[in-house]
Amino acid sequence: MRKVVFNITVSLDGFVAGPNDGPDNGLGDGGDALFNWYFSGDTEVKISEGTPMLKVSRQSAKVMKEAFETCGAGVWGRRTFDIAHAWGGHPPITPSFIVTHVSQEWVYEGSPFTFVTDGVESAIRQAQEAAGDKNVVVCTASILQQCLNAGLMDEIYIDVAPILLGKRVRLFDHLNTEPIQLERIHVIAAPGVTHFGFRVVK
């Protein structure tokens, strides 16, 4: 059955980007180290035209393959879209739904992007319609937080990188709910990263 899942790489102290993140410093000061595991293995993984060829460990390649095979649409916040320079028009997941207050220029026939200006619930609903039987993957912190607050999230997949970033974009900020119980799906200790999967208990 199709699910709403979250997937991101985070520092051990819970940050998805370090200080001074922005279009010229995507993951912030020191943040590139979050993705060392993307380039330190021997198994090639190509995510999309807009992303470089990755070389990950065999264990991580298996985790990524499973995630991408079940993925039908992505949902992102506008900051990541801007910081990633719209992935040059080739987002890691197609179609991609961008939650924003302002619609903008990447709207054209055949565009992989849909701009959603009426909130996260609408973005998830539109992404589910596009994804059919496959999962909707939420890929940014602010959207995860809103999905958790709205009870929309089914599973959380977090790749923990062995670094402490200290400050800036915190993954689990602004939660405004009763405590959320999770069930562990897996823990996979791969070289340079530990993959965690959790099911949200509803």
Ligand X SMILES: NC(=O)c1ccc[n+]([C@@H]2O[C@H](COP(=O)([O-])OP(=O)(O)OC[C@H]3O[C@@H](n4cnc5c(N)ncnc54)[C@H](OP(=O)(O)O)[C@@H]3O)[C@@H](O)[C@H]2O)c1
58's enclosing H/E stretch is helix 58-69
Per DSSP, what are the bridge partners of residue 99?
Answer: 77, 116
Residue 102, interface with ligand X (CB under 6 A)? yes
Residue 78, interface with ligand X (CB under 6 A)? yes
Q: Which residue is nearest to ligand X (CB)?
A: 77
Per DSSP, what are the bridge partners of residue 70?
Answer: none
Nearer to ligand X, 61 or 143 (CB): 143
How far is it, in rounded angstroms, from Cα 176 to Cα 145? 8
Q: Of 137-196, which residues contact ligand X (CB under 6 A)?
A: 139-143, 146, 169
Residue 27, interface with ligand X (CB under 6 A)? yes
**Minimum distance from residue 1 beta carbon to ligand X (Å):** 26
For ligand X, the binding residue among 4, 5, 16, 131 (CB under 6 A) is 16
Residue 119, interface with ligand X (CB under 6 A)? yes
- The pairs formed by 46-55 with CB atoms below 8 angstroms and a separation of 24 or more are 47/92, 48/87, 48/90, 48/91, 48/92, 48/93, 48/94, 49/88, 49/90, 50/87, 50/88, 50/89, 50/90, 50/91, 50/92, 51/87, 51/90, 51/92
Residue 120, interface with ligand X (CB under 6 A)? yes
Nearer to ligand X, 61 or 83 (CB): 83
Which residues bind to ligand X, rule: CB under 6 A? 8-9, 16-17, 21, 26-28, 34, 76-80, 83, 99-102, 119-120, 139-143, 146, 169
